[in-house]
Amino acid sequence: MKDDTLQYPDSRGHFGPYGGRFVAETLMEPLRQLEEAYAQFKADPKFQAELDFDLKHYVGRPSPLYPADRMTKAWGGARIWLKREDLNHTGAHKVNNTVGQALLAKHLGKTRIIAETGAGQHGVASATIAARLGLKCVVYMGADDIERQSPNVYRMKLLGAEVVPVTSGTRTLKDALNEAMRDWVTNVDDTFYIIGTVAGPHPYPMLVRDFNAVVGREVIVQSREQIGRLPDALVACVGGGSNAIGLFHPLLGFPEVKMYGVEAGGDGVETGRHAAPLSAGKPGVLHGNRTYIMADENGQIQGTHSISAGLDYPGVGPEHSWLKDQGRVQYTAINDDAALASFHECARIEGIIPALESAHAVAYAKVLAPTMRKDQNIVVNLSGRGDKDIFTVAKHDGISLG
Ligand SMILES: *Cc1c(COP(=O)(O)O)cnc(C)c1O
């Protein structure tokens, strides 16, 4: 990997042949303004100090790098470390990004935040930070998702957000994203659109990555302190790819650190019922950028399936597509069953109930660890906690929670 990897995307938002800005003319100017504003604030020590303050005192950073020694003992091979993003305020890595983007919104004088959400996690993280900053918040959510995720819908309402049901298309995340874009075009003067993952048109994949990169930066410091050197391997689940790129990006320049991105294999990649565009998709355009997507021969976006709502997306951030093509990161898929087994195992032997998304990463670490030496180290990004998933898991296990 060349040293200049860390400099990407280029000035037009390209990661090699991926990324870019495939949007209607009306969105070009707002995106350009956002890019300019971000470049300015990124270089502003006062903005960075404010961001650091929020990450420390509101989010609760740094999150611990925890040695999962019972897991290590049970699996054999490399030592397992869990990066505890589940301990952040609101219970996942997503708040790293919403805190950053909301601060941008405030500095730009915007009074209204909009966001899209699938399972509701990004909606809750956006509503949370909007409440704290006294900004109005509107969250677009597929009508089917609203029905499936009622606790998160209620949380958003408690936080003062308005949740708008989206009834077009498949009534899920990808339609909510389209609707949020439409709102933004109409209300760009007072409105800031907080995208929840490293997808969308430039500069979003870069912006969301930068705000999540605090995870990888902390891992560099913590592993040198606790292990005495950098880890040998990193493992993270990949939905849109924000928690994974947040962990990977600061370490891309160290070729000795191997990286593994874990997609949702659903019922099995060979069944077609999955959410693994890097493992089984091909390049195309979705939500304003060129990247690997799941589409049929006519370019129609295919339905996805995963037990974890947060991984259930037919596209992936463009930077991951590029890292895949270059071979810098290995991408694999873990099926629902293996993720569920790891969900239970992590709870039982470490006393940590992981998010179902994160359980995919844990499941792959279980495959990887025994192939490595005892003196080697794997850092697994525990992207979130599993409280939100107990209803899904109980239902799958045939247990009624009343
Ligand atoms: C949303 C979510 C994910 C997937 O999103 P990425 O952008 O791929 O990180 C993973 N884990 C948790 C806990 C989530 O809430």
Q: Quick check: is 116 catalytic?
A: yes
Burial class (CB in 10 A: 0-12, 13-18, 19+), 321: buried
User: In this predicted structure, which of 2-16, 82-96, 225-239, 248-262 has the lowest mean pLDDT?
Assistant: 2-16
First to last CA, the chain: 53
Strand arrangement, sheet containing 112-117: 162-166, 136-142, 112-117, 191-194
Catalytic residue (one of 63, 223, 279, 383): 383
pLDDT in tens, 323-347: 999 999 999 999 999 999 999 999 9
Q: What distance in angstroms lies between residue 309's CA and the mean position of ligand 1's atoms?
A: 9
The CATH topology of domain 12-55+94-208 is Rossmann fold (3.40.50)
Q: What distance in angstroms lies between residue 93's CA and the mean position of ligand 1's atoms?
A: 7
Quick one: pLDDT at residue 64?
98
Cβ of 201 below 6 Å from ligand 1: no
pTM > 0.95: yes or no: yes
Q: Quick check: is 56 catalytic?
A: no
Residue of the nearest CA to atom 13 in ligand 1?
384
Cβ of 94 below 6 Å from ligand 1: yes
Cβ of 238 below 6 Å from ligand 1: yes
Residue of the nearest CA to atom 10 in ligand 1?
357
Residue 134's CB is within 10 A of a number of other CB atoms, namely 9
CA distances from 305 to 3, 141, 356 (A): 37, 18, 13
Q: What distance in angstroms lies between residue 47's CA and the mean position of ligand 1's atoms?
A: 26
pLDDT in tens, 108-165: 999 999 999 998 999 999 999 999 999 999 999 999 889 888 889 999 999 999 999 9
Question: Alpha carbon 195 to chain centroid distance?
Answer: 11
- Res 248 pLDDT > 50: yes
- Res 2 pLDDT > 60: no
For the CA of 238, the closest atom of ligand 1 is: 8
Token reading at 299: 């370019």
Quick one: pLDDT at residue 172?
84
Cβ of 197 below 6 Å from ligand 1: yes
Task: Give the span between the Cα atoms of 260 and 265, in whole angstroms.
Answer: 15
pLDDT in tens, 126-142: 999 999 999 999 999 99
Q: What distance in angstroms lies between residue 25's CA and the mean position of ligand 1's atoms?
A: 30
- Res 1 pLDDT > 50: no
Cβ of 62 below 6 Å from ligand 1: no
Quick one: pLDDT at residue 6?
65
Catalytic residue (one of 35, 85, 116, 319): 116
Instruction: Work out the mean pLDDT of the chain and round it to a whole number.
Output: 95
Q: Quick check: is 94 catalytic?
A: yes
Question: Alpha carbon 42 to chain centroid distance?
Answer: 21
Range list for CATH 3.40.50.1100 in the chain: 12-55+94-208, 62-91+213-396
pLDDT category of residue 3 using cuts at 50, 70 and 90: very low
Is domain 62-91+213-396 in CATH 3.40.50.1100, yes or no? yes
Task: Give the span between the Cα atoms of 177 and 172, in whole angstroms.
Answer: 9
pLDDT category of residue 349 using cuts at 50, 70 and 90: very high
Token reading at 254: 């160290």
Quick one: pLDDT at residue 356?
97
